C-alpha cells in the first residue's frame, strides 16, 4: 500500500530514536525539533569543548584521556603549541589566494614531505578520500596520457577502506559503505588480501594500478604480510602496474616510521596522506615519483582550498615539530610499550584474543562485540574507538607518555572486566 503524506511524516519523525542519543537529546533540548544536521553519524552523548595534549574536557567539566585522537588526526595532541602559534601568525597575514598563484608555504610543505619520503611531487587537497581520488585519477592519466594505453582499472583488497566519494567507496573492500549508492563507477576490482593467485587472475590488459593499506585500519587493524608485499611489488613491476599505498591513517608517523610502507623497504609509485598531516586542520596530500609529474598537466586536476596558506603552515609546523621531537622514534618506543602492557594485562582474560598493530595504531581483537566497552570507557574517562564490531582500536596521540599509557590500560582493564563479568563472557 502506498504511503500517505501523514505516513511519510510519521516515518521521518520516528527514526529520531535511531540516529543516536545525542541527536535525540539535542532534539529534546530544542523542543522536539530534530537536529539540522543529517543523521549520517551515530554520535556519542558527550559534548567536548576543550582539549590540551592527551586530554579533553566536556561541557560539564568532565575530563577524558583521549586514546582516539579524533580518529588518528590530533597526532601531536590537542592544541599543539608550535602548530597553534604558526597558524595564528598565518591567520594574521593571509588566509587564501587560490592555486592560480604560487603559495610559498605550500612549496615548503611539499619539499619537506619529499625529504622524508621517496616521493618527488605532491598534490594537496582537503581529505583522505580526495587524496585517494587524486591517486586514482593520476594512475589513469599516467597510463592514458603518458603511456598511451587504455588502462583504467584499480585493484583493491577486501576489508580495505579508502573513503566515501563514489570512486573511493567503490575502491573500498567493504559492502557496508556501498549500500544504497548504485550504480557504482566502473573500473574497480576487489580481491582477498594475501591471495596472490586471485590478484594474478584479476589483472588484465585494462589494469592500471593496485591500491593497498599497509595496515588495514578501519577493517580491523590488520598489518599486511611482508612476503605478500614483496610479491605484490614484483608483480606490479612485471605487469607495468602502478602501486598506490593509502597512508591516510598509517602515515605521518602513526606506525613508527614517517610512512608505514617504509617498514617494508618499498617505494610505491604513489601514496596518500591526510588525517594527522596538519594536526587537525583539514588537509590531504597525494605524493608520487618524478616519472608521474607530467601526468597532471595544468587544468587536469585541482582543488580550491588544497594547500592554502593556513593549512600549509599547519603542515610545515607539524613536520617541524615531529622532526625536532623525534616523534617516529617515540612512537616505536611507546607502541612497543603499549602492546607489551596490553598483552601482559590481558593474558588471562579470554575475552581478549589478540593484540596487533604497528606503532600507535593498535587493535585488540575480542571474542564478541565491543561497542558497549567503548561506552563504558567513556564513563570511566577514557576515549577509544572500534575497528569493526569485535575490535577495540587505540589511537593515542604520537607524543603520549608512559604514564598516560599506564593510566589508559588500567581503565581499559577495569572496563573489560566489568563488561565481561556482566555479560558472563
Ligand X SMILES: Cc1ncc(COP(=O)(O)O)c(C=O)c1O
Q: What is the grid cell recorded at 19?
A: 540516529
Nearer to ligand X, 218 or 269 (CB): 218
Separation CA 286–CA 106 (nearest Å)? 13
Report the greatest alpha carbon distance in the chain. 67
User: Minimum CB separation from ligand X for residue 128, in Å?
Assistant: 2
Tell whether residue 66 is a contact of ligand X (CB under 6 A): no
User: Minimum CB separation from ligand X for residue 39, in Å?
Assistant: 18
Separation CA 274–CA 284 (nearest Å)? 4
Q: What is the grid cell recorded at 214?
A: 599497509
Residues 201-220 that bind ligand X (CB under 6 A): 213, 217-218
SS3 of 255-310: the string is CCCCCHHHHHCCCCCEEEECHHHHECECCEEEEECHHHHHHCCCCCCCCCCCCCHH
Tell whether residue 133 is a contact of ligand X (CB under 6 A): no
Tell whether residue 162 is a contact of ligand X (CB under 6 A): yes
Binding segment for ligand X among 28-36, 161-169, 227-235, 303-311 (CB under 6 A)?
161-169
Tell whether residue 273 is a contact of ligand X (CB under 6 A): no
Tell whether residue 249 is a contact of ligand X (CB under 6 A): yes
Separation CA 98–CA 124 (nearest Å)? 12
Tell whether residue 387 is a contact of ligand X (CB under 6 A): no
**CA angle (380 as vertex; 379, 386 as ends), nearest 5:** 75
> Of these, 90, 127, 174, 318, which contacts ligand X (CB under 6 A)?
127
Separation CA 387–CA 369 (nearest Å)? 11
Tell whether residue 69 is a contact of ligand X (CB under 6 A): no
Instruction: Report the sign of the C-alpha dihedral through residues 212, 250, 179, 187, in that order.
Output: negative
User: Minimum CB separation from ligand X for residue 381, in Å?
Assistant: 25
Nearer to ligand X, 274 or 360 (CB): 274
Tell whether residue 258 is a contact of ligand X (CB under 6 A): no
User: Minimum CB separation from ligand X for residue 393, in Å?
Assistant: 11
Tell whether residue 161 is a contact of ligand X (CB under 6 A): yes
Chain positions contacting ligand X, by CB under 6 A: 127-129, 132, 161-163, 213, 217-218, 246, 248-249, 274
Amino acid at each position: 500500500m502506498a504511503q500517505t503524506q501523514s505516513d511519510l511524516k510519521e516515518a521521518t519523525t520516528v527514526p529520531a530514536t535511531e540516529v543516536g542519543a545525542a541527536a535525540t537529546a539535542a532534539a529534546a533540548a530544542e523542543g522536539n525539533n530534530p537536529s539540522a544536521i543529517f543523521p549520517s553519524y551515530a554520535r556519542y552523548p558527550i559534548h567536548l569543548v576543550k582539549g590540551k595534549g592527551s586530554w579533553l574536557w566536556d561541557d560539564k567539566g568532565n575530563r577524558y584521556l583521549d586514546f582516539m585522537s579524533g580518529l588518528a588526526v590530533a597526532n601531536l595532541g590537542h592544541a599543539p603549541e608550535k602548530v597553534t602559534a604558526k597558524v595564528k601568525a598565518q591567520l594574521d597575514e593571509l588566509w587564501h589566494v587560490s592555486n592560480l598563484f604560487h603559495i610559498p608555504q605550500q612549496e615548503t610543505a611539499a619539499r619537506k614531505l619529499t625529504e622524508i619520503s621517496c616521493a618527488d611531487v605532491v598534490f594537496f587537497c582537503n581529505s583522505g578520500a580526495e587524496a585517494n581520488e587524486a591517486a586514482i585519477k593520476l594512475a589513469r592519466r599516467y597510463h592514458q596520457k603518458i603511456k598511451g594505453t587504455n588502462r583504467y582499472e584499480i585493484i583493491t583488497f577486501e576489508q580495505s577502506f579508502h573513503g566515501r566519494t563514489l570512486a573511493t567507496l567503490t575502491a573500498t573492500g567493504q559492502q557496508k559503505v556501498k549500500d544504497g549508492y548504485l550504480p557504482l563507477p566502473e573500473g574497480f576490482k576487489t580481491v582477498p588480501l594475501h591471495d596472490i593467485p586471485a590478484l594474478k587472475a584479476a589483472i588484465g590488459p585494462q589494469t592500471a594500478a593496485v591500491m593497498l593499506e599497509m595496515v588495514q585500519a578501519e577493517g580491523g587493524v590488520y598489518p599486511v604480510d611482508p612476503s605478500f608485499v614483496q610479491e605484490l611489488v614484483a608483480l606490479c613491476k612485471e605487469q607495468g602496474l602502478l602501486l598506490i599505498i593509502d597512508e591516510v591513517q598509517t602515515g605521518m608517523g602513526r606506525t613508527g616510521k614517517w610512512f608505514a610502507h617504509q617498514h617494508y623497504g618499498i617505494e610505491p609509485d604513489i601514496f596518500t596522506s591526510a588525517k594527522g598531516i596538519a594536526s587537525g586542520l583539514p588537509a590531504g596530500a597525494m605524493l608520487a615519483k618524478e616519472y608521474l609529474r607530467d601526468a597532471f598537466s595544468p587544468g587536469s586536476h585541482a582543488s580550491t582550498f588544497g594547500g592554502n596558506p593556513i593549512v600549509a603552515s599547519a603542515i610545515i609546523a607539524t613536520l617541524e615539530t615531529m622532526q625536532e621531537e623525534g616523534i617516529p622514534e617515540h612512537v616505536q618506543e611507546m607502541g612497543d610499550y603499549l602492546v607489551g602492557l596490553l598483552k601482559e594485562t590481558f593474558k588471562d582474560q579470554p575475552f581478549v584474543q589478540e593484540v596487533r598493530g604497528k606503532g600507535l595504531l593498535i587493535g585488540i581483537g575480542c571474542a564478541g562485540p565491543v561497542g558497549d566497552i567503548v561506552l563504558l570507557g567513556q564513563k570511566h574517562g577514557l576515549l577509544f574507538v572500534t575497528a569493526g564490531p569485535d575490535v577495540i582500536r587505540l589511537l593515542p596521540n604520537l607524543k603520549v607518555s608512559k604514564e598516560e599509557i599506564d593510566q589508559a590500560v588500567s581503565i581499559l582493564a577495569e572496563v573489560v572486566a566489568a563488561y565481561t563479568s556482566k555479560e558472563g563472557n
